[in-house]
Amino acid sequence: MSISITLPDKSVLNFDQPVTVQEVAESIGPGLAKATLAGIVNDKKVDNGFLIERDAALKILTPDSPESLELIRHSTAHVLAQAVTRLFSKVQLAIGPSIKEGFYYDFDLETTFSPDDLVRIEKEMNKIIAEKIPFQRLEMTKAEAMALLKERGDTYKIEMLEGIEDDHVSFYQQGEFLDWCRGPHLPDTGKIKAFKLLKTAGAYWRGDEKRPMLQRVYGTAFPKKDELEAYLHRLEEAVRRDHRKLGKELDLFSFSDEVGAGLVIYHPKGAAIRYALEDYLKKEHVARGYQPVIGPQILKVDMWKTSGHYQMKYPMYFTKIEEQEYGIKPMNCLAHIMIYKAKTRSYRDLPLRLFELGTVHRHEKSGVLHGLLRLRGFTQDDAHIFCLPDQLLSEIKGIIDFVDSTMSLFGFTYELEISTRPEKSIGSDEDWEQATAALKETLDQLGLPYDINEGDGAFYGPKIDIKLHDAIGRSWQCATIQCDFSLPARFDLSYVATDGSLKRPVMLHRVIFGSLDRFFGILIEHYAGAFPVWLAPTQVRIIPVSEQQTPYAERVADQLRQAGIRVDLDSRNEKLGYRIREGAKEKIPYLGVVGEREAANNQVALRKHKEGDLGSIDLEALREKLTSEIANRQ
RNA sequence: GCUGGAGUAGCUCAACUGGUAGAGCAGGUCACUCGUAAUGAUCAGGUAGUGGGUUCGACUCCCAUCUCCAGCUCCA
């Protein structure tokens, strides 16, 4: 009997009898043998002890393999669970998967974990790692497993096992600790080189708020210490850039207990940035053939019944005027639909692109509010495109082009996701299929890769979501394109076709920023509060060296202001160094110092944020420089 | 909404086991008139998120409520 094993480089190794992954590694070399964590046999991840019994393709996983990360984290989760069972009595294990940035493990225990506990658990974990305990795989039938779990009283595991189809399952044992688990795992606990417990939190069993609240411990692990440190540094960086903190420090916006949760108040500096963003949007929409419109804040409740929002229990606010019930708009589409309906439309009128900076209100649950990123009242750069079915593709292409140019303006990369029909939805199956196909076809034609997010569409149609990546690698959902056959039918929209018959238009809902408020919050973190000139609330600050230059400084500020530049003056009775420091702390792009020399020569000594002194330039040159940078959105 | 934590001057924070609150920065005033990241002096500022309760007495204990933070669930 002979077994041939094909390695990723297509080379083939032959063995006389079944071999384990580890043995294959040993036959290649001692270095690899030592580094081997696990293997991938015919696309399936397995332990290093997995016995290969027939011809197979094998990839050996070492700490350098990207596929190892998940493995390392999952095994670290097991070590966490082992440590917790050592330190706490009466613990029930629930579930402990690896996740995008690390891992967690959910426990059911009577007390809640304190920060001190976290330190204790971490210490115990380090002990377990130092012990280099092997992970051993035990296989058995489902019935045997069930008996074992019942004997141990593992109620959560029993519930999970009941949902499993396979007849054979596995357990993993490391020392005294045994856990029902699919695996695979590292060879032994000593292979864990860099981990950290991050936080504890409550989490419902299976995410269901009616089920018991468990204690979740979050942590992360990496193959190498420096990778862990880089990750922890990134977390610190995210804290440093937190838009809620910067918003307060830079005096951009505030929230108030008296006003209410989730309702943002923009201060002058924050509003300056908002207006700059709105100006960009308005100009860009008009240039792309959209027509700006304005709808009312509240609409009679019957409108929301026709649209389906009411029956769908969309989280809206309602109010009454003389016994007539009104709904405060959570979306802008209805007024746009009424504009379409205001007169008979011909196929010649389509596509009709209506755009509005529409402020909407949604009754978000209190626990989800989060700075500017999750509000109860926010403004969307919302547009609705009414078009012929055969215009759908080109319209979607146009929107994607818009998204692309906007993302590159801010330096965001992005990826696409198509979300399909959710459980709570309206419309016929055919319409959903047609709409979903249209979205896929467009992206296919454009050659753009995308993921499918099943069941995550809007209630009236499927959507393309755009996830952007910011300066420190986090992703955010902002832009979305939704294809809708339902609302045109519900509101009985029609156009006169070439043959004189009445036909139904298709509707696209789309946003580019999504919520201006959220986008602003993301920008604050993206730029770490140091906005480019075109967005900065104060684009240049003029600082006279001493009182004698104040009149000249006022003239400089005034001339720049006349040119439409956001300029201010700091002629306070403070030392120059002090005022430079203040300007730097406020992250103002340019500081213009004027002393005796500048006043005599009609010049300004320019200092750029983060870059320092640029030397003196003529006032006229400064005006042109700033005007051009602002116009080019630099 | 749920679980846990928090709420002291504009901001950041402090005050032993209950005995009616302090500092730095910011702000006002004065002096200095200053050349690229903190000049000095001085003054003012809070009754402790809000409402109840316990107590001779509460910032400190209890209850309710509001808001914030972390997570769950949900979402632009």
How far apart (Å, rounded) are the C-alpha atoms in residues A125 and A123? Answer: 5
Q: Assess whether A509 carries a catalytic annotation.
A: yes
Catalytic residue among A22, A82, A215, A380, which? Answer: A380
A588 pLDDT higher than 90: yes
Q: Model confidence over A567-584: pLDDT tens digits?
A: 999 998 899 999 999 999
Closest to A80 in 3D by CA, of A116, A45, A127, A38: A127
Mean pLDDT, range A583-602, rounded to an integer: 95
Most confident of A90-104, A136-150, A302-316: A302-316
Q: Model confidence over A386-442: pLDDT tens digits?
A: 999 999 999 999 999 999 999 999 999 999 999 999 888 888 888 899 889 989 999
- Is the CB of A480 within 7 Å of strand B? yes
pLDDT at A471: 79
Nucleotides of B under 7 A from a protein CB: 1-5, 7, 11-12, 30-39, 49, 66-76
Query: In A5-95, where does DSSP find H-type helix?
Result: 21-28, 30-35, 68-87
Residues 532-591 of A with CB under 7 A from strand B: 545-548, 573-578, 580-581, 584-585, 591
pLDDT band at A351 (very low <50, low <70, confident <90, very high): very high
Q: Which residues pair with A134 in a beta bridge?
A: A188
What contacts A338, CB < 8 A, 6 or more positions away? A295
Q: Which residues pair with A256 in a beta bridge?
A: A260
Burial class from Cβ neighbours inside 10 Å (0-12, 13-18, 19+) for residue A331 reads buried
Report residue A287 as tokens. Answer: 């240039």
User: What ipTM did this prediction achieve?
Assistant: 0.93
- Is the CB of A211 within 7 Å of strand B? no
Rounded distance in angstroms from the CA atom of residue A257 to the C1' atom of nucleotide B20: 27
Q: Assess whether A54 carries a catalytic annotation.
A: no
Q: Assess whether A526 carries a catalytic annotation.
A: no
In the block, which residue shows the tokens 């300066």?
A471
Domains and CATH numbers, chain A: 3-61 (3.10.20.30), 68-238 (3.30.980.10), 264-296+330-526 (3.30.930.10), 540-631 (3.40.50.800)
Report residue A213 as tokens. Answer: 């609240």
Q: Which nucleotide's C1' is closest to A200 (Cα)?
A: B71
Q: Model confidence over A354-398: pLDDT tens digits?
A: 999 999 999 999 999 999 999 999 999 999 999 999 999 999 999
- Is the CB of A348 within 7 Å of strand B? no
Q: Assess whether A181 carries a catalytic annotation.
A: no
